[in-house]
Amino acid sequence: PAARPSNFLRQVIERDLEQGTYARRQWGGTPGDAAHHHHGEADPAKIRTRFPPEPNGYLHVGHAKSICLNFGLALDYGGICHLRFDDTNPEKEEIEYVESIKDAVLWLGYTWDANRTRHLYQASDYFDFMYRAAEYLIEAGHAYVDEQTPEQMRANRGDFGKPGVDSPFRSRSIEENLTRFRAMRDGELADGSAVLRAKIDMASPNINMRDPTIYRIKHAEHHNTGDKWCIYPMYTFAHPIEDALENITHSICTLEFEDQRPFYDWLLERLGEGGLINTPPPRQYEFARLNLTYVITSKRKLKQLVDEKHVSGWDDPRMPTIVGLRRRGYTPQALQLFADRIGVSKADSWIDYSTLEIALRDDLDPKAARAMAVLDPVKLVITNWDELMGAGHLEPCSAPVHPHDAARGRREFMFGRELWIERTDYEDTPPKGFFRLFPGNKVRMKYGYVVECVGATRDASGALTEVQAKLVPDTRSGTPGADAVKVKGNITWVGVADGVKAEVRLYDRLFAVPQPGAGAKDFLEEINPDSLKVVTAYVEPSLGRAQADEKFQFERHGYFVADRKDHVAGEKPVFNRVTGLKDSFGK
């Protein structure tokens, strides 16, 4: 734990561990599968946290923060983090999302089943218990079936500063409530005709405590329980119960649930009194959700981007989804580093996108192999090559795979009469401070020879078609006396003879403004029109052998990854730009 900076959550956990808050939980009789320990027995896990996604979409960078936080705390404090699907809503959830969420957690470097003792947790596994808990609340006088219309219910709930009005159904007898609730369960009532409500306080200043709905009727099939149920628990009722049944100790969620905490505590206190759950119950703690500039983190809006084809899919490398970030070239370590650096706080704020990119560069810099690539190629012809070296001669050159790690060996490539260079590396008349190719100037072809530019050819439209230079003999890098000729420019290049043609996808931020959709415009109107540019590049031979998902630093250009989907090693090289070498967006 010492490796990470402290924060309010770590302090709470450390205090609970010190005081032994959960060391000897009292067993309340929870159903076998969910109960990890019995009366007075210590839980082998010192703390239990959980990550409870609703399987209604792909996870995004905000979820990554929550995953790193919850799984990270469990790892640091000898605990266990549960992956739990909050699948209490029968209509919106799909198996495809369940699978993608499992993949995302594993990819981020965590597992929910380290000891192979327990599979996934699913909220819907607790529907029987939740029903029993609801009947218990009715029997104890804490819940009633309300048959007001939804409109009446809304009107009677009151408002901020205006107390609500008791429902005429609030004083029903326990027997009548039980009968009506069972009628709800047995499918005798139509959707929307009745709900079960907790009986708390219609005058509470916290509107969430004004007799919140805990069960509603929905004649809908559920992907796990099929047509067994036609009533489903509300999230606010289900969630505390899920936490309690799994013996969660610290239930960490985002700030918007702060107003729900009193109900969370109210409910678990009642169920504890009834001996239905272990005590002390879990406690809820809130932290500020991640807001990242230039990025959308609403599942609904992300789905809209996919459905309306503004991007190629959930895993488009411009998407902030975990599958998108992964395809873009982000690493699990970079996302963990990012999560550690931003920490947790109690106040909402915006994190600058560059924080994410810096974490990525810090992770990739020591790892990524270097390579040369020419993204906007034009030919450089060495006019005296044949005369000096012999026609068709190719001169082997090499460079370190990584500049700070000689053990990783060297990459080899050929210098010859024709080389690919960047179009922008030549000027007829050099602007001030331009040290690259212009007639009369000498430059070093990196890891190769010094050449002196002699001229260039343009087509009828004025576009550059070829640059010419003369080789300066005896200047090959790494040979004695090579540095005798002093030059200011160092040019990256790829040999025409051994260079490999590659598709390179130059990605930029998907949105042109820091807070898309925050102003008067719809977020879709703020899409960056230049977020993708596809170019045909030439890359050094080592890149022709790259494996899908392998990351590189293209010298001068930034970090690139061989596309997970479209790159075929040795056949069809496709690289995605992950990020530039330094923060340059908008500059």
Q: Which residues are annotated as a binding site for L-glutamine?
A: 86, 235
- 3-state SS class at 556: coil
Extract the runs of DSSP E, i.e. beta strands, from 190-263: 195-198, 213-217, 231-233, 250-254
- In a 10 Å sphere around its CB, with 0-12 CB exposed, 13-18 middle and 19+ buried, how is residue 544 labelled? middle
CB < 8 Å & 24+ apart, contacts of 450-459: 450/475, 450/482, 450/485, 450/487, 451/380, 451/382, 453/426, 454/383, 456/426, 456/428
Residue 289 annotated to the active site: yes
Query: Toward ligand ATP, which CB reaches closer, 257 or 449?
Result: 257
CB of 519 to ligand ATP, least distance (A): 20
Q: How far is the CB of 69 from ligand ATP (least distance, A)?
A: 8
Nearer to ligand ATP, 171 or 298 (CB): 298
Q: Which of 48, 65, 210, 299 is catalytic?
A: 299
At 218, phi and psi to the nearest 5?
A: -145, 105
299: annotated active-site residue: yes
Nearest approach, Cβ of residue 80 and ligand ATP (Å): 17
Catalytic member of 54, 147, 452, 466:
54
Separation CA 182–CA 304 (nearest Å):
39
Contact residues toward ligand ATP (CB under 6 A) are 52-54, 62-63, 65-66, 253-254, 289-290, 297-299
Residue numbering of the annotated binding site: 54-56, 86, 235, 254, 289-290
Rg of the chain, C-alpha, whole Å: 31
CB 70 within 8 A of CB 52: no
Residue 394: in which H helix or E strand, if any? none
Number of alpha helices (DSSP H) and beta strands (DSSP E) in the chain: 14, 27
Minimum CB–partner distance for residue 66 and ligand ATP (Å): 4
Q: How far is the CB of 84 from ligand ATP (least distance, A)?
A: 10
Q: How far apart are CA 527 and CA 512, in angstroms?
A: 6
Contact 81, 105 (CB under 8 A): no
- Least separation in angstroms between CB 291 and ligand ATP: 7
Q: CA-CA distance, 505 to 375, in Å (whole number)? A: 10
Cis before 31 (ω within 30): no
Of 54 and 176, nearer to ligand ATP (C-beta) is 54
Nearest approach in angstroms of CB 479 to ligand ATP is 56
Residue nearest to ligand ATP according to CB distances in the complex: 62
Q: Which residues contact 291 (CB under 8 A, 6 or more apart)?
A: 297, 348, 349, 350, 351
Angle of CA points 554, 549, 535, to nearest 5°? 50
Cα–Cα distance, 240 to 145 (Å, whole number): 21
CB nearer to ligand ATP: pick between 330 and 449: 330
3-state secondary structure of 511: strand
Q: Which amino acid is at 135?
A: E
**Would you list which residues are annotated within the binding site for ATP?**
54-56, 254, 289-290
Specify the residue, 102 or 423, whose C-beta has the smaller distance to ligand ATP: 102
First to last CA, the chain: 39
Nearest to 415 by CA among 369, 478, 458: 478
- Whole-number minimum distance, CB 162 to ligand ATP, in Å? 29
Gap between the Cα atoms of 335 and 357, Å rounded: 10
Catalytic residue (one of 182, 289, 303, 556): 289
The DSSP bridge partners found for residue 217 are 231
SS3 category, 105 = helix
> How far is residue 155's CA from residue 44's CA, in Å, rounded to a whole number?
49
- Which residues are the active-site residues? 54, 289, 299
